[in-house]
Structure formats: structure tokens, C-alpha cells
Chains A and B, each alone.
Chain A
Amino acid sequence: MKRVGVFVCHCGSNIAAVVDCERVAKEAAKFPGVAFSIDNKYMCSDPGQDLIKKAVEEHHLDRIVVASCTPRMHEPVFRRATENAGINPYLFAMTNIREHVSWIHTDREKATEKAIDLVRMAVAKVLHTVPLEKSSIPITKRALVIGGGIAGMQAALDIADNGNPVVLVEREPTIGGKMPMLDKTFPSLDCSACICTPKMASTDQHPNITIYTHSEVERVDGYIGNFQVTIRQKAKYVDHKICTGCGLCETKCPNKKIPNSFEAGMGNRTAIYKAFPQAVPNKPIIDAANCRKLTKDKCGVCAKVCPTGAIKYDDQDELITIDVGAIVMATGYDLFPWKEAYGEYGYGKYPDVITGLQFERLVNASGPTSGHILRPSDGKEPKTIVFIKCVGSRDDVKGKAYCSRTCCMYTAKHAHQAVDKIEDSHVIVFYMDVRTAGKGYEEFYQRTVEDGVHYVRGRVSKIYQLGDKLIVRGEDTLLGEAVQVNADLVVLATAMVPSAGSGEIAHIVGFSTDKDGFYQEAHPKLRPLETFTAGVFLAGACQGPKDIPDTAAQGSGAAAKASAVLSNRSMETDPLISQVNDAVCAGCGVCVGICPYRAIELKEITQRAGGKTIARRVASINSGLCQGCGACVAACRSGALDLKGFTNQQIMAEVDALCL
């Protein structure tokens, strides 16, 4: 005879305000199999958990039902309480009478009846549970970090400092990401490169970190603790083992007019190049698409001048396979492609309408103008500069609905720099709101206003060229007046969007993105650095727009998460996964294609059929990969697949309890 204990939680007044918990407990006592039933103010508290233990002892219970909040909140707590009471933690069912009842209903009578029904179903379900045991899988003590920007470097350094080897993969020829492009960082105005480049050097020199630049992750198989990663090391055409990084090749390369993406298109580079002088590794690669030797088999100057013979025109892509236990995603951001969306700002046809990142290069001492703010069209110093905020952000018609978070502050910084560097300058910022949530941010903004920067609340409706001026038309919504500024330079605060190709890499690694393409965290508060794929963690702007302090913090956070995985020799796996009934499985393989986690493959079995032994193929679940989502169970026509803890029989019992 099974003996079920039912515990109904008030959740303070969260549930009890709408649901008559006492009545629910009384009704539950009448359900078949229920030996004990009680309500309690806070089941998750220590006294609440003790209640389970005491009741098990006194009433010899062998199964537990808790009616409280969502299982995503406290299921682990009550499983542990069940285990502490001496019962297998999977002889437990939780039903949600908070999110599913009290928070969404107001009629006390009907809500109570619904809660009773939910408990009835949970009791029916728990009667069909069987004890389940956790299994364990070994862990490869190595981490992969995808993306070598500030988030990726921070994560790699912290994991490496924890004593575990790290492989850092960066698709650009240098690590560093976007931070080395910046001039100064808000709110302290310290030099960006002075923070970033030492970090790049530390990453490069750390004995536990292996860096693959100009490389991409091509394939990821396996599961937490046991990922197999294939990295494509793209051809560099320069043997970095021999190259000393002297730079002679760069000075002699005849193809010098290639727009440098590191300069945000404001400066040029050669076909054999380092992105910038402090690049890590500090050795050049050949841009095959623009190299005369590789495209037309002419030139070959770099090979002639190279003192060590490091140039390899026949270099090929190389595939590298490594095993890792955890993955940190740090793929960063790109800027919203405003030229495609904003016709009123000229679709990019006016050279003096630039982005904030381009302004960073103009104001940067190592940039194309050596830090003098000179406008791109004629190289003159602009006197009147207009900054426009929220370009592509907070604009669900042309851009993205979200706030890009960093633009208020970097625009304040740009405005300050413009006032600081240009005598008699006139700086106007068009804004929707000024958002300065961060330590020292509001103070910085106030200082910028005190510097004499003129903030105008309103959007700009049109920009057009008239002579050498850009006519900026907008509205001051606080005064209710039309505004026109004859500007020399316009800087757009374009929104952050997920970096190009970030969706593909998410698909390769096997986790989901949100509606804007940013990586989806498992829970915004409870699991902000985790994905729904175990062992894959998030850091930085790939998860959503972020400034540098937040990005660095997340890098360290993701590293802590990854290090926790790597700190054990083996890990326990959740037993709530799919199982196959070999006798029923027809081996059709529909589950193989449908599994989002690639956890199912067909294996050969032998069995007796029709008086002889036959070999045939049936589905087989990889317990490390299976996340227990149940997609295969729904797809399996014969019912050969079943989800432990949510078996077809348990669900049928729940339905019967409600409907019969």
C-alpha cells in the first residue's frame, strides 16, 4: 500500500490570499493513497522542510506531494527534503498552485477548487513514480572560450587562474575585440588601450591559455563535461612559428588601400597586416582576397623581403579537434546597420555622418588622425558637432525595441571629449531620455552638461548636406519648437546588435537565442549566465547590450560557472531523461532528427523474433546529452520512448484524475 503525504504551502499570503489552503489539505486527505495531509505557511523554510521529515517518520509515508510555487523555483529544495526524510527524491511530485492558481485568479472559491484538482492530479502522478538513481559522467578538465574580446579574455584568464587549461578561439587575427578600438572609457576617462592591451598580453602569456586567432568553431558534439570541438584554423599564409613580427612585410606590401575594419573604415591597411600595433599575436596574416600573389599570382614582395622566410602562400585551413568540459560564449556585438534603415540620416551618403565607433577612432591618439577630431570629408576640424542618440535602439519601427544601454554614457563621453579637444566648439546632443544607471555615471553626465554640452530632448527628423554644412532638423519637445542646427559633423549612437554570425555559432553549439538574436539565458535572475544547454555559459554583450564593467563582471561570472563544472572529476546527471523500450521501438529514427540536443542515435540490438535471432536497430539515449525535454516522446508513435519522471502512464493518470 502506497502512503502519500501532501503538503500545501501558503507562501505567506502569496497563495493563501486567494486559495483556502486548509481546505485543499483537508480535501487532499480523502484522495486514494493519501495517508497524511497538512498545510503550512512556508514549506520551503527550515520548519517547513522539517515537517516533511517528521510526517514521514510518524505516518510512514513513502511518497511526497508539495503544492506550492513553480518547480523551477523550489523543486530541488523539496527533492532534497524528501531525500533527507529517507525517501528516494524522485518519489516526489510538485504542483504549482501559485503561478498557476493564486497569482492568476481572484475568485477564492473557484481558485480553491482548481488547487484541489491540481493536487488530485499530483497525487495520481506520484502513485506511479518509481525510484530513480542519478548516474555520473566523467569531466574533461578544459574549457573553451568562444570570442576573444574583453568578456572572453576575462573568462579565459579567470578559468586559467583556477588551474584549468583554456582554449580561446577568436575569428579575427587578433584578440582584444572592440575595446582596443576605443579611446577612453567612461566614467573615469582612463585610456582604453592601457586597460585592454595588458589584458591581451596576460591572456597570451598565461601558461594555461591556448589562443587560436583567425579561427572559427566549426562543430561541437557531446555534452557537459565531454564536448568535442572542431576548430577551423583559417589559413594565415604566414608561419607564426618563424615570423618575428618585425613588420617589414607590411611596409613593403604594395596594396595599401584596403579599408581597415579596426579603424571602423576610417583608415587603410595593407594586404599583409596586423590589425593594430599592439595586436596579439603580434604577427601579420595575409588577407587572401586582397593579396595580389594569392589572387593573380603576381607580386610576392612580402616573401622576398621577409628575413626569416615565414611567408607561406600555400598555407591551408587546418582542422583542430579538442575535448573540453565547459564552453563560455563571448561573441560580443556589432553595431546596428543604420545605413540600411535610416533614410532621414542619408543612408550613409554623407561622409560626415559617422557612428560612435568611428568617432572613437577619430579621437584616439593611435587612430587615423592621431587623435585630432577631423571630419572625414575634408579633414577640417568640426566646430559644431551634433550627437544623435537611440539610432536603431528604442525604435521598433526601423530598429530594435530595446535600449542599447551604453549609448547614453558613451555619447556623454564623446560630447565631453569634443568640448575638451576643440576650442570654441558647439556640441548638441539630441536624446530621448538620459539613462545613467551605473556607479559614477550620473555624475559624469552632469559634468558633461556643466562642460557646456547642449542637450536637446527630441529626435532628429532629417539631415541633409548644404555646402559644407550638414543641416540637422529636429524638434525640442520640451520647448515644443522646431530646431535646426548647421553642423559640421554628426555622430550617431547606433545600437548594439548581436555580432554577425552569432546565430550560426549558437546553432553549432546548440542553444537558443532571443527574439533579437542575443543569446538566451536560462533564467534572468536564477541562472543569468547559463544557457539551457548544460555546460554552456554566457559572458558579455552576446547576451544583451552591456558596457565594459558589466561585461568584465560577466566574464568572471561565467568563468566561475565553468570552473565549477571543471572542479570535479565527474558529475551527477539528472535521471529525468528519456528511456527506450527496445521491444517496442521500431527503429524508425524520427526521434534522432527531432532531438534538439543530438542525444539520440540508433544502435544495433539482437533479439529473438519468429523463432530465430535477428539483429535490428533501435533508438539509444545518451544520458549525458539528454535534457529531458520530451520532444522525442511526443514524436514516438509506438510509445517506445518515455520520459522518466513524466511517463506516459503518469500523465494518463493525471488526466484520468482530473477528468474521470
Chain B
Amino acid sequence: MSDPSGEMRELAKKLLENGEVDRIIGWEKGNLWYQSPPLFITRAEETDRLVFDDFAINSLVTYLLDERDSGKKTGIFVKGCDSRGLVRILQDKQIARESVYVIGLPCSGKKDPRQALSSGASESSQVPPAAKCEECLYPNPVIYDVIIGEAVEAKAKGDRFAAVKEIEAKTADEKYAYWTSQYSKCLRCLACRNVCPACNCRECAFDISKPRILAKENNLSHNMVYHLTRAFHAAGRCVECGECERVCPMGIPIMQLNKKIIKEINDLFGPYEAGVKLDETPPPLGTYQTSDPEEFM
């Protein structure tokens, strides 16, 4: 893939100069070769810092939430996975479509800084593709005002629910042992929540003190309350960007539970993918119909 950085910088410069946007969110090259952290710029002369390299893996869309009351317009770069997160935020009415100028970037897969570090590699070519990119079904942005670069073909479609089948094969006791061993690792740093485009409430239920549903102490029981509640809050809304699992410092397979719920929804209500169509009819768990399945009744 050719480097789109030049075009990105040119466009960002133009947008800031003619006042079309108040700020730009993109990526810049960090201090280390395996990091490309988010970049926030408001002046045209800073646009030369923008890059789009192998490590521009972070989704930037949740940063839009910080400015939801500012009335300012943001230019934002999105990959395919990021764009679905943007659809999520727009559908949840957290920002107005007019308040964002979306610059799409087709993406053939990114690399994970943590893998770069752990593999002992010394340059990008030695680092394998990031885990979440291996299962990518939407390499091209599903929503954009302008797109930079050629469309990328999706990789061979593997089994979207392979990881789910692994847990479904377990007995109830094995499942319990598996998940408790995973959740007992959790530090409750809340990185998975903070990075999730579906976690876009103004005030998170976990932060509300009355009633307090999540105690402050870190123990397995409360970790489970946290993870199960988080999964249910994302049910029918998870856009499968995989950011939660990527940012988890403890390597908890968060997407495995998300995908299990997605599979259940698909089984109950028919095929559904969240965050693909902005103007879709109400999603299965966001509407009431008298014909809804109610096998438990």
C-alpha cells in the first residue's frame, strides 16, 4: 500500500486553513518506532506531523465524545473498523453528523505495539499483523466524507464465531473455571470501557454512586459483575472493532464474550452486524415488536 501521509497532510491543512474544521484527530509518529499515538491538532502548520503507518492501530472515534458539547467541528481519520465505531456513536446520538468531517482510510491491517515489543523485533517488517486485523471483515470505511487511497479487498472470510465455538464446546463447569481464571486477572483499569465506541454514555453506570453496582475493591465477584454488565451493555451494539481486547493489559479475551452475544442475537433475530449502516431500521435489541421471540416465557 502506498503511503497516504502526503495526501492526509494536504487535506488536513486545507480543512484547517479554510476553517472547515476546528481541529483534526489523526496519528503521529511516536518516540518509539513501534508506536503511532493519536495526534490532536488545531493549526495548519502542525499537519506535517500526521502519519498513517503500520502502527496507526488506535481507533480515534471515542475522542469525539470529549468534544460533544463544544459545538466545534472535528476532522477525523477512520479505518474500516474505526468507521463502524463512528456509526455507533452517531446512532447513539452522541455527536451530530454535521459536527464531524470523516476522512476514510482503507486499511490492509495494522500491527500491535505490544506484539512488536514482545516479539523482540527491531523493525516493522518483523512484526506479525495484529490479532484483531486477522479477522477483519470491513477493511474499508463504511462512512466517510472523503476517502484517501484505493479500496482494499477483505481477507478470506474465516469463521466469525470460531472463538465462540471454543467456549460453547466446554461444559458449564469448564466455562466457569475458564472465565473465573480470566476475570481474576482483571485490574479494573477500565481501559476496555474507555476505548469502546459503544461505551459512550455521559455518565457510566459503574461510576454512579447511588445505587453503586460496582464496589471499589478488586475481587473476582466484582470483576465478574463488571465484565458481564459491560458485555450486556454492548449487546447488539458491539461493532467488533476489537479495541477492548487490544488495550487490555492482562490479555483477557473480551471479544470472545462479545462475539458469543452477537452469535446469540444472530440466532434469535437473524443476521445482524452493528455499526455498518448509519440509517438502518432499529437494531434487534433496540426495538419492541410483538413478534419478538420469547422462548423463555
Q: Could you tell me which A residues sit within 8 Å of B by CB distance? A: 503, 506-507, 512-513, 583-590, 593-596, 602, 609-610, 614, 616-617, 631, 635, 637-640, 647-649, 652
Contacts and interface: CB of A to CB of B under 8 A. Distances in A.
Contacts of A585: 202
B290 A507 contact: yes
Contacts of B204: 638
Nearest to A639: B205
Contacts of A586: 92, 94, 200-203
Nearest to A653: B211
Given A512-B290, A586-B94, 7 more contacts: A503-B290, A586-B200, A586-B201, A588-B200, A594-B287, A617-B93, A637-B205
In this complex, which of A506, A631, A639 has the most chain B Cβ atoms within 10 angstroms of its Cβ? A639
A479 to B, nearest CB: 45
A657 B94 CA distance: 37
B286 A594 contact: yes
A584 B282 contact: no
Contacts of A616: 69
Of A506, A586, A637, A647, the most chain B CB neighbours within 10 A belong to: A637
Contacts of B201: 584, 586, 588, 637-638
A616 to B, nearest CB: 7
Nearest to B213: A652
Given A589-B93, A595-B288, A583 B203 contact: yes
Nearest to B288: A596
Contacts of A609: 69
B233 interface: yes
Contact of B290 (A513, A614, A631, A638): A513
B286 A593 contact: yes
Contacts, number: 69
A638 B288 contact: no
Nearest to A511: B290
Interface in B199-218: 200-205, 208, 210-211, 213
Contacts of A588: 92-94, 200-201
B203 A593 contact: no
A506 to B, nearest CB: 8
Contacts of A614: 69, 71
B282 A593 contact: yes
B286 A638 contact: no
Contacts of B70: 610
A637 B93 contact: no
Contact of A590 (B203, B205, B208, B286): B286
A614 B286 CA distance: 27
Contacts of B203: 583-584, 586, 638, 640
Nearest to B202: A586
Given A637-B201, A649-B210, A652-B211, A610 B288 contact: no
Contacts of B287: 593-594
Contacts of A637: 201, 205, 233
A584 B202 contact: yes
Interface hub of B204, B210, B213, B290 (most chain A Cβ within 10 A): B290
A609 B65 CA distance: 13
Given A594-B287, A610-B70, A614-B69, A649 B200 contact: no
A337 to B, nearest CB: 21
Interface centre among B69, B94, B213, B285 (most CB of A within 10 A): B69
Interface in B151-166: none
Nearest to B232: A637
Contacts of A595: 288
A279 B202 CA distance: 62
A107 to B, nearest CB: 26
14 contacts: A584-B202, A586-B94, A586-B200, A586-B201, A587-B94, A588-B200, A589-B93, A590-B286, A596-B288, A610-B69, A616-B69, A638-B201, A638-B208, A652-B211
